Amino acid sequence: NAGVTQTPKFRVLKTGQSMTLLCAQDMNHEYMYWYRQDPGMGLRLIHYSVGEGTTAKGEVPDGYNVSRLKKQNFLLGLESAAPSQTSVYFCASSYGQAIYGYTFGSGTRLTVV
Amino acid sequence: DAKTTQPPSMDCAEGRAANLPCNHSTISGNEYVYWYRQIHSQGPQYIIHGLKNNETNEMASLIITEDRKSSTLILPHATLRDTAVYYCIVRANSGGYQKVTFGTGTKLQVIP
């Protein structure tokens, strides 16, 4: 029972490089989310999806794109990485709106130099 | 969603009860109170939630005041593994998807 799996766990990028973070869940959840966490800032919602083929903007969407081509996967893309995107990224999923159903991944630590 | 206010940090002796307060004075009638915790470097973990009545599960108890303007999460016998950041969140469970933001929470340090 893997739950929510994030890959990679760590990554160092140079400014201007692109990359994709993968989130996979095996719980048949409809909703998926990407958050970022910076020191002293709590978690902030980047993008979310309420079902396969749907995406929507969260609080801090600029500089990121997402795709949900398959129900079990939610991809977060950085087209041109900037040092301000250095952060820990968490993916989460849930059956529906009720947040007691949120299951989080273990995070991806991204450093942009 | 209603705004929540939590103390930035608290200490608790191991084996004692940890009482974590949360103020949510603008809470609406259909909004629930949720608690999550985040142990160092891990993703947040759901603990408990409630609407009006006090709730208890295997992890913790949630006490909500009668006017619902504040609540307290109680860890009855804190252990060192309970050292974590605890988030109090208020939101409705209906009316369409609502974005959930985890604020800065309360950093609980359990002391041996």
Cβ of A4 within 8 Å of Cβ of B49? The answer is no
Chain A residues with CB-CB distance to B under 8 A?
A: 4, 31, 33, 35, 40-45, 48, 50, 58-59, 88, 90, 92, 97-102, 104-107
Q: Choose the closest CB to A42 out of B46, B94, B105.
A: B105
Residues paired with A44 in a beta bridge:
A36
Is the model's pLDDT at B1 over the cut of 70?
A: no
Q: Among A69-73, B38-42, B79-83, whose mean pLDDT is lowest? A: B38-42
Lookup: tokens for A45: 């919602």
Residue-wise pLDDT for B21-35, tens only, equals 999 999 988 889 999
SS3 B26: coil
Q: Interior CA angle at A31 toward A27 and A33, to 5°?
A: 105
Which residues on chain A are in Cβ contact (under 8 Å) with B89? Answer: 99
What value does the mean pLDDT take over residues A19-30? 96
CB contact under 8 A, A48 and B96: no
Q: Between B41, B49, B104, which is nearest A107 by CB? A: B41
pLDDT of residue A101: 75
Sequence-separated (6 or more) residues with CB below 8 Å from residue A98: B93
What secondary structure, in 3-state letters, does B8-20 show? CEEEEECCCCEEE
What confidence tier does B2 reach under pLDDT thresholds 50, 70, 90? Answer: low
Could you tell me which of B37, B38, B33 has the C-alpha nearest to residue B23? B33
Nearest-CA neighbor of B37 among A58, A43, A96?
A: A43
